[in-house]
């Protein structure tokens, strides 16, 4: 990835960032926080999402074959901490019940399981199937739009096309999330928080798409939205935000982003400390 840079210190910073961003998105598991591991809270969140998909007009879906119900329940109750088991159960279900009303729900669950496995081929293929059945599935759109710029390969002949797809997914998700109906099991505050976290994920993915295109102004705007008000923001977002701000010569703000990153324990922590100091020096030099 060739970047047009204005200062040598920034060149070093973004070279490091390039290495960080092309790593597989292993730290982000299912859920609303990009740097959280799969845990009980996240699994419950996915379970609730799957339950919502089995409801029609606020009423439970009509009864189906008891064996089909049992197979879906087994898949549904298998956590993402057992991704191989969940994948096998999902594949078996789709093979046995290809026309099931639960097909999209199973596809959506498989997307998350393939994500945990970092099986990108099946991840993308299953996401396409899920979106073909439910074009406005914001959870699938957000995670796919987030993964694409993280797994970006500039030598891929379809690299630009994939970034366009990620941009379209995140923009569509951002437009849909504010209109989502409140699930009956959530309080107003819980629902507001859940929507805010989903929007943060979408802005994260969109910001990294712009960063990959070297559109640093828009990258910074989106990454600010991805990290503000988030208790534990993604360190990669903060690192990319700092680099984008340096490229637009907002050195003090860049130092602040790097400093926030340096406060979070991650593989980027030491680099963020170094880049915070470098950005502070640039800020001081720019005032002379």
Q: pLDDT band for 62, please (50, 70, 90 cuts).
A: low
Name the DSSP letter for residue 263.
T
Q: pLDDT band for 232, please (50, 70, 90 cuts).
A: confident
pLDDT at 63: 64
Give me the domains of the chain, ranges plus CATH numbers. Answer: 1-27+141-288 (1.25.40.10), 33-135 (1.25.40)
| C-alpha distance from residue 91 to each of 72, 88, 191, 255 (Å) | 11, 5, 32, 48
Residues 27 and 233: their CA atoms lie apart, in Å, by 12
Strands 55-56 and 59-60: antiparallel
CA 235-41-125 angle, to 5 degrees, is 70
For residue 92, give the nearest of 112, 108, 78, 72 by alpha carbon. Answer: 72
Comparing 61-65, 104-108, 272-276, the range with the smallest average pLDDT is: 61-65
pLDDT at 286: 85
> How confident is the prediction for the chain on average, in pLDDT?
82
Mean pLDDT of the region 240-264: 95
Is the pLDDT confidence value at 74 over 80? Answer: yes
Mean pLDDT of the region 101-108: 93
Is the pLDDT confidence value at 26 over 80? Answer: no
Comparing 6-10, 128-132, 193-197, the range with the smallest average pLDDT is: 6-10
Mean pLDDT of the region 27-49: 40
């Amino acid at each position: 990835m060739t970047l047009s840079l204005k200062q040598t210190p920034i060149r070093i910073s973004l070279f490091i960032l390039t290495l960080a961003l092309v790593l597989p998105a292993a730290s982000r598991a299912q859920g609303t926080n990009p740097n959280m591991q799969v845990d009980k809270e996240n699994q419950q969140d996915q379970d609730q999402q799957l339950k919502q998909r089995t409801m029609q007009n606020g009423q439970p879906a009509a009864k189906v074959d008891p064996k089909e119900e049992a197979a879906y329940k087994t898949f549904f109750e298998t956590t993402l901490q057992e991704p191989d088991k969940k994948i096998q159960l999902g594949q078996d279900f789709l093979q046995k019940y290809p026309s099931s009303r639960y097909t999209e729900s199973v596809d959506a669950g498989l997307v998350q399981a393939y994500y945990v496995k970092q099986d990108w081929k099946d991840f993308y293929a299953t996401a396409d199937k899920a979106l073909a059945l439910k074009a406005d599935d914001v959870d699938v759109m957000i995670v796919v739009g987030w993964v694409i710029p993280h797994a970006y390969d500039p030598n891929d002949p379809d690299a630009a096309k994939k970034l366009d797809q990620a941009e379209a997914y995140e923009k569509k998700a951002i437009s849909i999330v504010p209109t989502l109906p409140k699930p009956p099991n959530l309080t107003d505050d819980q629902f507001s928080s859940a929507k805010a976290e989903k929007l943060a994920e979408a802005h994260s993915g969109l910001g990294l798409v712009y960063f990959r295109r070297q559109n640093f102004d828009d990258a910074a705007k989106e990454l600010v939205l991805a990290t503000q008000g988030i208790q534990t923001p993604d360190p990669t977002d903060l690192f990319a935000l700092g680099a984008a701000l340096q490229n637009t010569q907002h050195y003090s703000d860049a130092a602040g982003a790097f400093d926030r990153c340096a406060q979070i324990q991650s593989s980027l922590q030491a680099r963020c400390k170094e880049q915070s100091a470098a950005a502070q020096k640039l800020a001081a030099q720019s005032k002379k």
